[in-house]
Amino acid sequence: MNIDSINNIGSIRNTDIFNRSSNLNKTSNSFSEWLQNEISVANTQINEADTKLREYAVGGTDNLHQVMMSIEEAKTSFELIVQVRNRLLDGYQEIMRMQI
Amino acid sequence: MISELSGTTENLVRAVLDASLLRYKIISNNIANNDVRGFKPSNVNFEDILNAELNSKEAINNNQRIESALTSVRPEIVERESSVIDGKPENTLDLEMSDLAKNTLRYEALIKSLENLGSIKTMAITGRAGK
Amino acid sequence: MSGISIFDISASGMALERMRLQIESLNLANANTTRTHGGKIYKPLTVLSSPKYSEEFGSIMSDILDKQNVPLGVKIDGVKELDLPPRIVYNPSHPDADKKGYVQYPNINPVSEMVNLINITRSFEANVRSFNAAKRMMQTAMDIGGK
């Protein structure tokens, strides 16, 4: 039986899809690095949305769609993290429930 | 920056909303008194004064500067300089209408934006994503 | 709160314009009234109005305004007869003609009264829009805290 084709599965890790989800330039496939990066991206976006809202409030900008979009972006990034955290927690709890 | 539950951004937006409500009353008053002889319409100044103090990137991100600006700056009601012909002021109804639309929009935009930004905090607290 | 609502201002404006409309219609209807109940010529009426202020400090705005007078819209001060010289028309056969054959008509120019009507309508509509704006603002504020 020829199982050479199965060996090709390992090369998926280096394709574009995984590289794009990380803002790091080097090819990284550590999940915790990816998650930490996402958290810092979300934090930056939240702070930026906060700043944009302040600027709009004092009339420094009248670019309302920019404000709304920044907030939406930040919300989505943060939502991603919350969901990842929930799944991690679910997975952990399931493992803890396993009877050995 | 949104680590506090009720922080500087909320205080800032709340102050601007207060001024916006006051501005609505003044515009509404201008409209109601539009045909009264000798009546001079008024404006409310607030955001411009704040903006003068907080016009830079460093200032807008400095919570202390914003808080101190909020305690010292108050909304001002100023009579508009309008031309008066024969005791009757020029008809400024169109101006009031556009001010009204602008003001209403800002009021709603600020509330909605604050709400959306706040829902991020809600997400963090409840651990539940989405509205 | 002493019962002052944000809608009072535009409501007062609407009330004034409605009053002006009634008076205006009355003037138009009597444009040719040479003799009223009292036996004299009809005198055109005008509505007197002035801004309404609150001397109370009980409103929310008082701390912002440092006790300035809060504007509350407009009030109707009453109706006044305008003492305008009458239009004189020569018509000796008219029952109200004087000894020389001249009849006095009220000094009401239908064209300018029409213009007044248009202005009244515009003002009324503006107050309605103001009312609707307040309603929108209140509805948005009510939505704080999620739908």
ipTM of the complex model: 0.83
Query: What span, in angstroms and rounded, lies between the C-alpha atoms of C73 and B112?
Result: 29
Mean pLDDT, chain B, rounded, equals 86
Q: Is A16 within the bounds of a domain?
A: no
Query: What span, in angstroms and rounded, lies between the C-alpha atoms of C8 and C49?
Result: 16
End-to-end CA gap in chain A: 35
Substitution target in B21, B29, B76, B112 with the highest count of C β-carbons within 10 Å is B29
Domains in chain A, number: 1
Is the model more confident about B69 or about A5? B69
Q: Is C64's pLDDT higher than 70? A: no
Q: Is C119's pLDDT higher than 50? A: yes
**Closest among A48, A90, C6, C67 to B117, alpha carbons compared:** A48
- Res C1: pLDDT: 42
Tell me the mean pLDDT in the region C6-20: 94
Q: Which two three-digit tokens encode residue C95?
A: 């029952």
For residue C30, the 8-state DSSP code is T
Domains in chain C, number: 1
- Max avg pLDDT among A72-81, C61-70, C89-98: A72-81
Q: Among B82-96, C18-32, C108-122, whose mean pLDDT is lowest?
A: B82-96
Of B32, B103, B111, the CB nearest to C13: B32
- Res C55: pLDDT: 60
Domain with A63, as residue range(s), is 30-97
Q: Is A82 within the bounds of a domain?
A: yes
DSSP strand pairing (B76-79 vs B84-85): unpaired
Cβ-Cβ contacts under 8 Å, B96 against chain C: 126
DSSP letters, C33-92, are: -S--TTSS----EEEEEEEEEE----STTHHHHTSPPEEEEEEEEEEEE--PPPEEEE-T
Q: Does B114 contact A at CB distance below 8 Å?
A: yes
Substitution target in B9, B61, B120 with the highest count of A β-carbons within 10 Å is B120
Q: Is C19 within the bounds of a domain?
A: yes
Q: Say if the Cβ atoms of C12 and B96 lie within 8 Å.
A: no
Q: Is A71 within the bounds of a domain?
A: yes
Beta bridge partners of B77: B44
Nearest CA in chain B to C129: B97
- Res C131: pLDDT: 96
Of B26, B97, B111, the CB nearest to C126: B97
Query: For the segment B68-97, what is each residue's pLDDT rounded down to a tens digit?
Result: 999 999 999 998 876 666 655 566 899 999
- Res A25: pLDDT: 52
Q: Is A7 within the bounds of a domain?
A: no
Tell me the mean pLDDT in the region B45-74: 88
Q: Among A66-75, B99-108, C90-99, whose mean pLDDT is lowest?
A: C90-99
Domain with C13, as residue range(s), is 8-83+110-142
The helix (run of H) or strand (run of E) holding residue B68 is helix B63-72
Q: Is A64 within the bounds of a domain?
A: yes
Q: Say if the Cβ atoms of A53 and B113 lie within 8 Å.
A: yes
> Torsions phi, psi of B7, nearest 5?
-105, -165
Of C61, C122, C144, the CB nearest to B115: C144
Percent of chain C with pLDDT over 90: 42
Q: Is C72 within the bounds of a domain?
A: yes
Q: Say if the Cβ atoms of C141 and B29 lie within 8 Å.
A: no
- Res C57: pLDDT: 46
- Res B109: pLDDT: 93
Q: Is A11 within the bounds of a domain?
A: no
Q: Is A31's pLDDT higher than 90? A: no
